[in-house]
Structure 1
């Protein structure tokens, strides 16, 4: 299967079999000098908005690569979008969740400064953290050869979540909930999965979000880590929505 590289500047309207598509900058440098892509090898270039053009490499340079397109695929956006609201967590557990969620098809990621989050993003650390998550999403998109690049929001507080998720069906992953996620019937609204940190969602936060319309749901009898709960729920919902 072709390696995927992303270029948000790609003009999908101008891409067709027989055309030449050029990749430049750091993405091309990585392909040529790190991945050691050579003339004749097959690669794909996507715009992150549904279009992927594939073909053999026609030429390379230190920071450029060109392919002769022989196939163009456009994937329609999903009818129901999935958002992961991931609580900031210690170590790399939140990053692992973001990486796996991207590979499994999440469409949007919202970093959440939950009450029990040990990690805190403040000032410039918030900008760096968001940039780090965006880089993780980008690499996971390429690795899984996804046609859409998920959005990464600015960090949100608990008070900001209802407005940030306006119009979406908010699902709180809560081990004590009486409703199982597998019993949930999609109703056409976009879905937002809210995953707490290591200590879980604080009772006051749970009450506040439920009062704002959120629905507590559980995955099963076991309690999953914050790094695995979101991706597991996305897999369940992907099957329910017919994505898989």
Structure 2
């Protein structure tokens, strides 16, 4: 069974034999909720590619110490995938973030699309963004990711268009598109961008703007997926055709 992972602020300059202390909520959950004990082995990650394997040498209510036995540096997975996720209603936003993190997305961009039902403003926006970040953090630990995803601030349509223009390959999921996702040529490296629209669908203006900036409108199949699951289906289809998934 894969060892459990805990996130630490940094593993810079840590070597085998060094003690690393984990504190705060991260440690409280491990010790009080998960009942971590001295002698257990686990993984420590900094979310930036470095992972330490070690053994718990001491515990307290809000802290535990790990003696490191091994350090490994993982290269960032390539191609790197960014998903622009239109704001779903209810808890479907957290579901989208969770599954996108599990599948290996590098960046998640919440987007206020024209037909988004959910609205992020003021204090609500700060709380919702924090919830997305927390969801990504926990999902990354569950998935044992060495590189944890970044959840960017809420983007405007113009900012999404700029992201499309900067990507090596950008796709917009659209049920009326004529080109299938499987027909796209993909680079072995570079940056891929996937734009997922809201429950109400994309407007013609949004699609036109993204296409002007180099994106390609594509369809996944004949089925119409929910906004919270369309992104993970598209990313899985893309990654299956890259070296990341053994092709």
Shorter-chain TM-score bucket reads over 0.9
Task: Measure the CA separation in 2 of the matches of 1:243 and 1:69.
Answer: 28
| Deviation of the 1:86 alpha carbon | 0.2
| Deviation of the 1:141 alpha carbon | 0.3
Contact 2:86–2:198 (Cα < 8 Å) also in 1: yes
Unpaired stretches in structure 1, ≥5 consecutive residues:
none
Unpaired stretches in structure 2, ≥5 consecutive residues:
none
Give matches, 1:53-72, under 5 Å.
Answer: 53-72=52-71
Contact 1:90–1:119 (Cα < 8 Å) also in 2: yes
| Deviation of the 1:84 alpha carbon | 0.7
Number of the residue aligned with 1:184: 184
Task: Measure the CA separation in 1 of the matches of 2:241 and 2:9.
Answer: 30
Contact 2:174–2:218 (Cα < 8 Å) also in 1: yes
SS at match of 1:140: helix
Give matches, 1:38-187, under 5 Å.
Answer: 38-168=37-167, 169-187=169-187
TM-score (norm 2): 0.93
SS at match of 1:59: strand
Contact 1:167–1:189 (Cα < 8 Å) also in 2: no
The answer as to 2:32 corresponding to 1:33 is: yes
| Deviation of the 1:164 alpha carbon | 4.0
Task: Measure the CA separation in 1 of the matches of 2:216 and 2:22.
Answer: 45
CA-based RMSD of the aligned residues comes to 1.4
Q: Deviations over 1:105-125 (max 9, x none)?
A: 000010000011000001222
Number of the residue aligned with 2:226: 225
Contact 2:110–2:154 (Cα < 8 Å) also in 1: yes
